[in-house]
Chain A
Amino acid sequence: MTALRRHGLGLVAWLAGIVFFLPIAWMALTSFHSEQDAATNPPSFGAALTLDGYREFFGVGGGASPWPALINSAVASVVSTLFVLLLALPAAYALSIRPVRKWTDVLFFFLSTKMLPAVAGLLPIYLFAKHTGTLDDIWLLVVLYTAMNLPIAVWMMQSFLAEVPVAVIEAARVDGARLPTILARVVAPIALPGIAATALICFIFSWNELLFARVLTGVVAETAPVFLTGFITSQGLFLAKVCAASLVISLPVLAAGFAAQDKLVQGLSLGAVK
């Protein structure tokens, strides 16, 4: 292959990366512009920078504060992720290290539930919430998000725990090590990065979720994506504010996603691709 061609293709790759990233870069830049500079045609790339958009978003000059929604989202995502880990770890153990009979069938049952569209179960859940008085209650979302992410987590963790060599576990067992010791000394060191990646991906899915949050929450338990739907209809000059809001609310996901980058494929493909 000629050097020219190699460099040329590298350049094309760079160009593609920049084109895909451009909307995000523009969003970031616009969030630091004043509303007047944000709404010009042609775009003002070099306009003065200001934090007004962020001030507006955080409700400094009046208007709804996003903090309750951000806190609700944090609670729903973090707590549901913890529950997912608590339920999925033992399940993955029973599907990999000490497998039950027909463990592949069980694994595929978990996966098949993920393929049913959530929207089809929405009405009964709404009616249930209405009758039990859990409408607009963040704990309802915690339960639903736990169930939503459980199959993914079981699949991912199964594939991570399966990477622990059986021979090492057997050797430890012969040496008289008990289960807690084996888990702490043998399994954990190998599986921990995978478990962390699983947690990050579950966090992302919960943080992003809109449909359930939109239908099942109101003023009290509103999450960050629901807060964002307040920007769907235009409100005069508000681009800097929209950009600031979108960026702030996406930051946790961007951070979690980049942290889990190496295991992202494995998680998104439900463990089918390593």
Chain B
Amino acid sequence: MTATTTAPYPAASTRPLKRPPARLRAWATRAPLLPALVFMIAVTQLPFVATLVISFFDWNALYPKARRFTGLANYRQVLTDADLRHSVWTTVLLTVAVVLASLVLGLLLALLLDRRFRGRGVVRTLLIAPFLVVPVAAALLWKHVLYNPEYGLLNGLLHYVGGPQPDWISNTPLLAVEASLVWQWTPFMMLILLAGLQSRDREQIEAARVDGAGDWQIFRHLTLPHLRRYLELGALLGSIYIVQNFDAVFTITSGGLGTANLPYTVYQSFYQAHENGLASAAGVLVVIGSLVIATFALRVVSSLFREEAARS
């Protein structure tokens, strides 16, 4: 393929070569895109269609002969089942708590790292590290090495100050899962917010300082409005990933003690209970929930995208 044929240069028109028709050129431009597009749709979009279809069937994998169309019955069952409703609630609680906590912590850390101090690069590296531990390994670390009531590090440190020796996972199971996720996701938020802080207009801040604005005023009226987009982006991307979290719930509590979120419930209902129809209906509900978040996320990403494009 020669890409030079479409360039409308005077030199091209003097060539005896005939220019390919416009439609052919359009397809030549599109061609590099097609393999990726077709592959994507085939592997990631078709399964959703299949899930949607299965969700209208009463289908237990152990009794495949008894499979039949039931319309919305699965949805009715999912929405009225106490366990499943609880798992919807758990998903919301888990996502909101982890996103908010890691966003606030990430903002504080980003503000600290935005200043110059000795060893800033080292501290940045130390702070990123939790995000770079394999999620299952991180969950194992928290479950066995930190939370263990008899010889975990948390109770070990409490021992020094004569504190109580709680059984963290049994006492506060959801909080235990959330804490491990906050530890992993704070670095993510910090990185995004740090990028936001560093894209501030330095001259504007200097001007404000010359005009006698204090640190708090600069933060409140210049930094925070500028960071709004980045906070939104962090919150939305974080939500997309944490709504789907499976590793931490599966590892730390195995979905027990009321910590089963929707992804875990979907996994369990078809992998252990073999209820294909119910699992699909729950899956469709997860998709609908994600679409709501995704609509906002896409809006934020596209506005940042346009800003970046306008700046460059």
Contact = CB atoms under 8 A, between A and B. Distances in A.
A binds B: yes
Interface stretch (B71-79, B80-88, B117-125, B218-226): B117-125
Given A23-B141, A113-B44, A224-B134, A16 B230 contact: no
A272 B48 contact: no
A104 B246 CA distance: 32
Contacts of B153: 23, 26, 43
Interface string B216-241: 00000000000000100100010010
Contact of A274 (B159, B283, B308): B308
Nearest to B180: A23
A41 interface: yes
Given A16-B112, A250-B137, A121 B44 contact: yes
Nearest to A31: B145
A67 interface: no
B188 interface: yes
B183 interface: yes
Interface stretch (B31-39, B170-178, B200-208): B31-39
Interface stretch (A54-62, A190-198, A205-213): A205-213
Given A23-B146, A26-B145, A270 B301 contact: yes
Contacts of B233: 269, 272-273
B145 A242 contact: yes
28 contacts: A10-B119, A16-B109, A18-B126, A21-B129, A23-B130, A23-B142, A41-B156, A43-B153, A90-B32, A94-B29, A113-B44, A117-B243, A119-B266, A120-B51, A120-B283, A121-B51, A122-B47, A123-B266, A123-B280, A173-B4, A178-B2, A179-B4, A208-B136, A228-B137, A254-B132, A265-B194, A270-B237, A272-B305
Contacts of B94: none
Interface of A: 6-7, 9-10, 12-14, 16-18, 20-21, 23-24, 26-27, 30, 38-43, 87-88, 90-91, 93-95, 98-101, 104, 106, 108, 110-128, 143-144, 146-148, 150-151, 154, 162-163, 170, 173-174, 178-179, 182, 204, 207-208, 210-211, 214-215, 224-225, 228-229, 231-232, 234, 238-239, 242-243, 245-247, 249-250, 253-254, 256-258, 261, 264-265, 268-274
Contacts of A247: 137
Contacts of A274: 195, 199, 308
Contacts of A273: 192, 195-196, 230, 233, 304
A116 B44 contact: yes
Given A41-B156, A147-B44, A215-B271, 14 more contacts: A13-B113, A104-B305, A117-B244, A117-B290, A118-B244, A121-B47, A123-B50, A174-B11, A179-B2, A210-B135, A225-B136, A243-B141, A250-B134, A272-B233
Contacts of A42: 156, 159-160
A144 B40 CA distance: 10
Given A39-B150, A111-B298, A273-B233, A211 B43 contact: no
**Chain B CB within 10 Å — which of A13, A143, A208 has the most?**
A13
A208 B135 contact: yes
Nearest to B43: A147
A100 to B, nearest CB: 5
B145 A239 contact: yes
Interface of B is mostly: helix
**Chain A CB within 10 Å — which of B47, B124, B140, B280 has the most?**
B47
B92 interface: no
Contact of A20 (B44, B187, B199, B250): B187
B168 interface: no
B86 to A, nearest CB: 17
A257 B131 contact: yes
Contacts of A124: 46-47, 50-51, 54
A-B complex: 9 closest residue pairs judged by Cβ atoms: A10-B117, A121-B47, A90-B32, A124-B50, A115-B294, A246-B137, A120-B283, A147-B43, A257-B132
A261 B130 CA distance: 13
Contacts of B286: 117, 119-120
